[in-house]
Structure 1
């Protein structure tokens, strides 16, 4: 792995290592991970080249210790048992990130705060003063560490500020302290630290700071466990240079600070020396022809199971159209599309009727030719507990346009587990048809796991299934929905309910516009990224239902409503990758139904709907920054997924389906996944720069780029 060079008196650094210490490494709570990033434009604050993660450059340290850098690839660890471990970053020569080069008996006792500029280590002691220590070999880290004669008393203004500071770091003789959005600088002299001067202010939310060298510093709003946006400041006086250097850096951040900085080489691709030219990587070719739409695109089908995953066979299934409920709160009876009984293995299938009811046909026409429906199965355990299963799914008539049939066929249905249903289910959902951003329940929804995921406060694998059960106003539930009266019903046999189930009414009780992720595009180095989402909605978004106190993801619906305009972004780059979000109106529907002699029961449904731009709102918005998936991640990609784009040419995805974005939206506090079907109006595109004899590498997330990659990344 290539590492940035350290600056010497004769040569200034055009790239600087940056280290992030977090609590997500191996060993759980007993270890912390150390991840190496490289700042490829430290002088410009990341305006001309990225701050990017190094592939495979990781290590781990015990949880309870203080870690700081000393330049020249040295990383120090002050432990709670009064040791000072000195590590050397040897990734430049193929070695480890944390090679232990020396262990000292620390000349201090559990420092309150500690940092270094290389030759000098600063320690805030428990009396509030600052002690200074010298490192006799700041290049190799093998020298002695001794206390200097100079000490700064607790009464000194610098010491007072150090105790109160959110973060402290040094560059040469300068000591910087970040406190409540203001950065002050002290100059080290033989007599101590001079009176401070304010070098930057108004840095709202900034809690960490670091410098790759003189003339530049970075801040981030994250703590050791949260993710935040990295910003940079350069010049004299310091001014904001880049308001989004990187998003999602989580942990304690430290730089391998250089003594002077230089501009990056515009013709040198970051990490190129670590990869080199790969002769067996093919040029990106046109996409393979998409196979015809499956013949069953006009058939609804699925599988119902018990709570333990065993088949729920012999139970009646009713299929009803869902897109006919008016948004003004009028209660209607959903049109029945068909009925059947689950087979012994829990599977069921109902063809879409050849002739649709007028209201269903109209709703399908407004949805690009696709019919969205809900399948309901109900029964009772041998002990008398009512059980119900719900599956939301889509189908397209044989006469529908090929695009609608292909889009519908792209939706995969997972087995749906039946859950206990109580007569009091969902009694806590008030009626509110306001789509205003001032909805009084928004404050409660903001406390949910789904909302925190969207805000970047919790993490999940980008295309992994979301938790099936969620709480719209709190963290993920840990209760067992199958425990009824102290008895586990998950494995109980389920038989048809006496009298069956009949829906009495369905009505919209709430609606709101939420911006939903529908795509992304990537452009590293000299490339440009484009994502087009034109003319119509072409996405699949999950739904959620509630029959108890918590929400359950119950399937996916296909959206194809008209936009009538274009949205997206074009020719963004270099070093650019962001998701794109469009405004969709989501409804919360109340369904009241009668099952046998169990009385009236209520089910709530959160369902995606039409493209709707709010008054004075954006037609589309930028979503999460996903640049961390580009660059050095190429080294971890499957070789069969790699290809290159010739200089001055382009490549695009305009067939098949995207990946499924986990947490594409948080609607009414519930996180839902989503995907997009690529076609001539919905595509991810990259345009390579014109540098002679250069190759711009790309790779598919799930397959080769000419197959079904979902999305492709850039190097």
Structure 2
């Protein structure tokens, strides 16, 4: 970034007017407030003078309002928010949330003295309007503190033709601080001085702000930019003088909408010991964090594979032969093998089935399990046809562990999520867009196509807004989420059609790797608000469960998960990050795309494709682990909406960690070959989320579990 020295002359203000926190309002994208509405969310900048380097830009609890879709909103200091409407009104609102009132308290309605405009902004006493005739009009507010005064056009207009007009009218954003006006256009911020004669002088204060589309100032000496429009998420960056230079490249991520500040005339340093929103009363009923208990024993037998197959409409798929095969034996060099059979059975009346893990495993399966921490990963296959002859196939990936496995391994497998697997139409054209072999995938990389998928775009977002929300039922590896129903065949819905078994069930599967690639996969996160520090440890071995996906028709769907337990022989993660820090952590795993050919009932061959996670593999010259998505939005005043039973506090100067049970499931843990997959991690002595509270004793440091109390099965815990 190139900077030009610039000094902003402060407006007259006494020392007691200087603010160490300033409200920032974000007008959400269309529909964020409901049908034909947009939301206005209040944030508070707790370190405006330092550009958010010492304290956060944090959401204010329950400070949300709504405006119509087509209104234009701007701020004017002193908690005033103006709304100019499509029907020619100018509404003046006062933010009364600090005294327990509403965010948008209507204090005055005017008939707007303008009709059309290109830009509109205010410094409090003055409202500037870049009109459609090519000039800039100015209007005075006679009561800039309460907003109840008259709005009067004054004789200080900048006429059409002035050199400033086109620059301001076409700017990406415009805002005011005192008698200075700032414009952001094409990554350059200019300062314009307002004089009594209506002229403006130009100075460049910063250039090279790539991607910045919004700007605002909380007061003199600081400005922020955001790299988003109203339809996408953004990154907030801050700049302070003199000269202006970037001081924080990640003040906040994941904000969607149009941001504007309740600009102050003078800024004061932040108090690093002050807890944001400290006016929130402490809860005397929140207990101190408990000591860690013993690792619980598995509730179900980890040495039995079990699942359920259904029709497309969720009804049980009964009476279908199930073939269970080991899947970790497929060589990575592209050689084709026949998968070893682990057992056979038939689905019960309710679609369920179970097969015990054989006490004696084939040698290659035994070796693969030893390299995977003792866990055996398998695939269960069922197939049949409708009365009209439509081929239907079902696939489920799952894991088991022998009774001799270590208790933590048994617990990890027993705790893995098993979901019903629906049979789907098997297409004869499935795979026409896939590599024919491992050599073909190397010669014809498809990364550019995968990057266009819904899963890849989700993976590329900087803040985790998906959380543990369910993934789409169907995915395309090269485009948006499919809208067509794969159960509609020749205009007929096959989802509820009864499925008859083929004689003899399915033969053993022939499998070969046709593509492989390393993808960084989320395995944990840690949180530290206020004066705390966050740590996440992922040591010595892989200890995660990651979803698989399969395609027997034209679309991909999640088909279960496999448990990963291979040794990594090293440590990865992060330690003592903070304050006001929360990031996910990702490790490199090798994913393979496998082509499987199988036959059922003596009929012709059918093909399915499988995406399967595998070993921890650091790419040449690559990172042993990477920071993932920003999850700070889950901390802070979200505490007020958490279940009380999930809350606890950490004593000043002490720490708390979870090292048992398993984490939450991250729905978008990875995008592999363009398909989004979920994953979770098992906590133990080598895999921990930890928080260390600061030494400020005047307030409690609260934490709360995402799914349960912190001594139960919280998944992860958050911080306030």
Q: Give the TM-score taking structure 2 as reference length.
A: 0.96
The one-character-per-residue Cα deviations of 1:550-579 (angstroms, maximum 9, x if unpaired) are 100110111111111000000111111111
Residues 434 and 531 (structure 1 numbering): CA distance in 2 closer, same or farther, change over 3 Å?
Answer: farther
Q: Which moved more, 1:80-89 or 1:152-161?
A: 152-161
Task: Give the secondary-structure state (helix, strand or coil) at the position aligned to 1:359.
Answer: helix
| Shift, 1:434, TM fit | 7.6
| Shift, 1:592, TM fit | 1.3
Counterparts of 1:233-272 in structure 2, within 5 Å, are 233-272=239-278
Residue 195 of structure 2 is matched in structure 1 by 189
Residue 305 of structure 2 is matched in structure 1 by 300
Query: Is 2:223 the counterpart of 1:225?
Result: no
1:455 corresponds to which of 460, 464, 468: 460
Q: Which moved more, 1:423-432 or 1:210-219?
A: 423-432
Which portions of structure 1, spanning 4 or more consecutive aligned residues, are displaced by more than 6 angstroms?
434-439
Distance 1:294 1:132 in 2: 72
- Is 1:287–1:705's contact at 8 Å kept on the other side of the alignment? no
Residue 580 of structure 1 is matched in structure 2 by 585
Counterparts of 1:543-622 in structure 2, within 5 Å, are 543-596=548-601, 598-622=603-627
Residue 69 of structure 1 is matched in structure 2 by 75
Distance 1:445 1:8 in 2: 58
Residues 459 and 365 (structure 1 numbering): CA distance in 2 closer, same or farther, change over 3 Å?
Answer: closer
Query: Is 2:103 the counterpart of 1:97?
Result: yes
Residue 316 of structure 2 is matched in structure 1 by 311
Residue 10 of structure 2 is matched in structure 1 by none
Residue 4 of structure 1 is matched in structure 2 by none
1:624 corresponds to which of 618, 621, 629: 629
Residues 650 and 481 (structure 1 numbering): CA distance in 2 closer, same or farther, change over 3 Å?
Answer: same
Residue 206 of structure 1 is matched in structure 2 by 212
- Is 2:288–2:648's contact at 8 Å kept on the other side of the alignment? yes
Distance 1:621 1:431 in 2: 32
Query: Is 2:50 the counterpart of 1:44?
Result: yes
Query: Is 2:378 the counterpart of 1:373?
Result: yes
1:526 corresponds to which of 516, 531, 535: 531
Residue 164 of structure 2 is matched in structure 1 by 158
Query: Is 2:406 the counterpart of 1:401?
Result: yes
Residue 660 of structure 2 is matched in structure 1 by 655
Residue 32 of structure 1 is matched in structure 2 by 38
| Shift, 1:600, TM fit | 2.1
Distance 2:67 2:292 in 1: 46
1:322 corresponds to which of 327, 340, 360: 327
Query: Is 2:69 the counterpart of 1:56?
Result: no
The one-character-per-residue Cα deviations of 1:500-520 (angstroms, maximum 9, x if unpaired) are 322452100000111111001
Distance 2:646 2:463 in 1: 29
| Shift, 1:123, TM fit | 1.1
Task: Give the secondary-structure state (helix, strand or coil) at the position aligned to 2:410.
Answer: helix
Q: Which moved more, 1:159-168 or 1:20-29?
A: 20-29
| Shift, 1:9, TM fit | 6.4
Unaligned runs of 5+ in 2: 1-12
| Shift, 1:460, TM fit | 5.1
Residue 684 of structure 1 is matched in structure 2 by 689
The one-character-per-residue Cα deviations of 1:130-170 (angstroms, maximum 9, x if unpaired) are 11111111111111112121112332222111122111111
The one-character-per-residue Cα deviations of 1:396-416 (angstroms, maximum 9, x if unpaired) are 111111121111111010111
- Is 1:25–1:60's contact at 8 Å kept on the other side of the alignment? no
Task: Give the secondary-structure state (helix, strand or coil) at the position aligned to 1:452.
Answer: helix
Q: Which moved more, 1:149-158 or 1:199-208?
A: 149-158
Task: Give the secondary-structure state (helix, strand or coil) at the position aligned to 1:469.
Answer: coil
Query: Is 2:419 the counterpart of 1:414?
Result: yes
- Is 2:339–2:509's contact at 8 Å kept on the other side of the alignment? no
The one-character-per-residue Cα deviations of 1:464-517 (angstroms, maximum 9, x if unpaired) are 221121111111011111111111111111110245322452100000111111
Query: Is 2:360 the counterpart of 1:355?
Result: yes
Task: Give the secondary-structure state (helix, strand or coil) at the position aligned to 1:103.
Answer: strand
Task: Give the secondary-structure state (helix, strand or coil) at the position aligned to 1:406.
Answer: helix
Residue 3 of structure 2 is matched in structure 1 by none
Query: Is 2:637 the counterpart of 1:640?
Result: no
Distance 2:199 2:324 in 1: 76
Task: Give the secondary-structure state (helix, strand or coil) at the position aligned to 1:361.
Answer: helix
- Is 1:503–1:591's contact at 8 Å kept on the other side of the alignment? no
1:706 corresponds to which of 696, 711, 716: 711
The one-character-per-residue Cα deviations of 1:578-621 (angstroms, maximum 9, x if unpaired) are 11000011110011122336522210001111000010000000
Distance 2:193 2:220 in 1: 13
| Shift, 1:27, TM fit | 5.2
Task: Give the secondary-structure state (helix, strand or coil) at the position aligned to 1:501.
Answer: coil
- Is 2:18–2:268's contact at 8 Å kept on the other side of the alignment? yes
| Shift, 1:440, TM fit | 3.1
- Is 1:460–1:662's contact at 8 Å kept on the other side of the alignment? no
Query: Is 2:393 the counterpart of 1:388?
Result: yes
Q: Which moved more, 1:458-467 or 1:607-616?
A: 458-467
Residue 176 of structure 2 is matched in structure 1 by 170
Residue 426 of structure 1 is matched in structure 2 by 431
Residue 19 of structure 2 is matched in structure 1 by 13
Distance 1:26 1:124 in 2: 28
Q: Give the TM-score taking structure 1 as reference length.
A: 0.97
Q: Which moved more, 1:184-193 or 1:248-257?
A: 184-193
- Is 1:434–1:511's contact at 8 Å kept on the other side of the alignment? no
Q: Which moved more, 1:105-114 or 1:551-560?
A: 105-114
Report the count of equivalent residues: 708
| Shift, 1:389, TM fit | 0.7
Residue 8 of structure 2 is matched in structure 1 by none
The one-character-per-residue Cα deviations of 1:16-52 (angstroms, maximum 9, x if unpaired) are 0001111265653400011111100000000000001
Query: Is 2:475 the counterpart of 1:470?
Result: yes
Q: CA RMSD in A?
A: 1.7
Task: Give the secondary-structure state (helix, strand or coil) at the position aligned to 2:573.
Answer: strand
2:287 corresponds to which of 269, 282, 285: 282
